[in-house]
Amino acid sequence: MEQAAVGRKAVGVLASSTFAFTVCFAVWMMFAVIGIPIKQQLGLNETEFGLLAAMPVLTGSLVRVPLGIWTDRHGGRVVLFTLMLFTVIPIWLMGYATTYWQFLVLALFVGVAGGSFSVGTPYVARWFPKQRQGLAMGVFGAGNAGSAVTKFVAPALIVAAGGAWNVVPQVYAVAMLVTAVLFWAGSATNPAHNVAAGARFADQLRMLKDPRVWRYCQYYSVVFGGYVALALWMTKYYIGEYGFDMRVAALLAACFSLPGGVLRALGGWISDRYGAYRTTWWVMWVCWVAFFILSYPQTRFTILTTDGLQSFQIALDPTLFTALLFVVGIATAIGKASVFKFIADDFPHNIGAVSGVVGLAGGLGGFLLPILFGAALDLTGVRSSCFMLLYGTVCVSLVWMHFSFRPAAPAGIQPAAQPSTGT
């Protein structure tokens, strides 16, 4: 009977935490939509737009380490509830900002919502046995689909308000407050999941000397940082590259954001079954191929043939482009789950602290990449330069994985058989 009660509580924790994280992620990504009319209103260039869109990601990244540690010490229920309440007022005030610096400052406070991942991951994982932690964390991580929710909801709100973007943060502030109350009602606390009361921050951070942590940081900066950056950038990309209006562009961008969030649970199951190393390795290869194709700019060229001049055009039409983005979305969803399977396997007693550091690295990738996207576009005028940058980051991951795991495998054994080892 007691075990059944624990099982019901675990399901309640997973459901309420996943819903809360979905709303937090939707708020975190709202500049993917409202940033476009704000850019027009303020006359921003591409780099300034990239900074504005990425500013919430910066705060959401920097707070992940302390939030993960506090979760280990005080429990996820209290920390996540407090975090959501903290963001309500800044979200509401966003609708009244008028200057660029005001948007940047408020975006920093709104970005705290992005730290919810480092709270929910260890909170959820500790309610489930080791063999089911990958799936549980994957289900929770499906809250990344909040990015797609924003792409459906925010444009509809703007249209309903006659083109006024201000309504979006006001609605989101109310949604965040209601979500906090629902989360508190549906979640639970287990003091046994917390670290010892006398544990010091230095003790919790001791494992950060382990090189595996930094390797996982690099992987996550690709699969999560790249996902966040593209989720922020793709609506605008569709508008500029193919001339779609905001609603159509946001809908097509959701074809990347939605699988990139929802299918994280599938990634958790695959990682439980086949191991974190093998899963992450194939994710990187899929992204490598897709980014190579996506990075090729629209090209027109003329050659001299025996029959005279012949002109050709090479370009991805919207259908093929969206299909490739969909594949990337699936790959990043699986990769996000597999990286955290590494953490659950290797650091079961410090999931909060380690996931905070790895989440920080992923978030910083999501912060820096949109700025680099904008700078590359301003400098080159080539929109696909964003995919060129991502292609380079995946190359780094593949090389690092190859040389990190190969020495750890005994002779005649493939590295995939050693998913949790390495130097």
Please, which residues bridge with residue 255 across strands? none
**Position 199 in a domain:** no
Query: How many domains does the chain contain in total?
Result: 1
Tokens describing residue 22: 């979905």
Looking at per-residue pLDDT, the higher value among 202 and 343 belongs to 343
The proportion of the chain whose per-residue pLDDT surpasses 70, expressed as a percent, equals: 89
Q: Is the pLDDT of residue 420 over 50?
A: no
Q: What Cα–Cα distance (Å) separates residue 188 from each residue in 20, 26, 76, 352, 387? A: 14, 24, 9, 17, 42
What confidence score (pLDDT) does residue 195 get? Answer: 63
What confidence score (pLDDT) does residue 331 get? Answer: 92
Tokens describing residue 134: 């990958």
Name the residue range of residue 138's domain. Answer: 2-188+205-417
Kindly report, residue by residue over 54-67, the tens digit of the pLDDT. 899 888 888 887 88
Q: Is the pLDDT of residue 352 over 90?
A: no
| Whether 72 contacts 194, CB under 8 Å | yes
What confidence score (pLDDT) does residue 276 get? Answer: 81
Q: Is the pLDDT of residue 196 over 80?
A: no
**Position 123 in a domain:** yes
Q: Is the pLDDT of residue 100 over 90?
A: yes
Please, which residues bridge with residue 303 across strands? 310
Q: What Cα–Cα distance (Å) separates residue 197 from each residue in 65, 74, 97, 351? A: 18, 9, 42, 17
Kindly report, residue by residue over 102-137, the tens digit of the pLDDT. 999 999 999 999 888 888 888 888 888 877 777 787
d(CA 260, CA 254): 9
Looking at per-residue pLDDT, the higher value among 183 and 203 belongs to 183
**Position 302 in a domain:** yes
**Position 88 in a domain:** yes
| Whether 370 contacts 171, CB under 8 Å | no
Q: Is the pLDDT of residue 292 over 90?
A: yes
| Whether 76 contacts 121, CB under 8 Å | no
**Position 198 in a domain:** no
- For residue 299, the surrounding DSSP H or E stretch is strand 299-305
What confidence score (pLDDT) does residue 264 get? Answer: 77
Kindly report, residue by residue over 333-342, the tens digit of the pLDDT. 898 888 878 8
d(CA 406, CA 54): 36
What pLDDT band is residue 298 in, cutting at 50, 70 and 90?
Answer: confident
Output the pTM of the full model.
Answer: 0.75
**Position 64 in a domain:** yes
Q: Is the pLDDT of residue 16 over 50?
A: yes
The proportion of the chain whose per-residue pLDDT surpasses 90, expressed as a percent, equals: 33
**Position 209 in a domain:** yes
- Chain mean pLDDT for the chain: 84
What confidence score (pLDDT) does residue 1 get? Answer: 39
Q: Is the pLDDT of residue 38 over 90?
A: yes
CATH of the domain at 267: 1.20.1250.20
Instruction: State the number of CA atoms in the 13 A half-sphere of 315 facing the CB.
Output: 12
Q: Which of 219-223, 304-308, 324-328, 385-389 has the lowest mean pLDDT?
A: 304-308
| Whether 268 contacts 410, CB under 8 Å | no
**Position 391 in a domain:** yes
- For residue 407, the surrounding DSSP H or E stretch is none
For 280-290, what is the mean pLDDT? Answer: 92
d(CA 71, CA 69): 5
Tokens describing residue 32: 């993917």
What confidence score (pLDDT) does residue 409 get? Answer: 40
HEC string of 217-260 equals HHHHHHHCHHHHHHHHHHHHHHHHHHCCCHHHHHHHHHHHHHHH
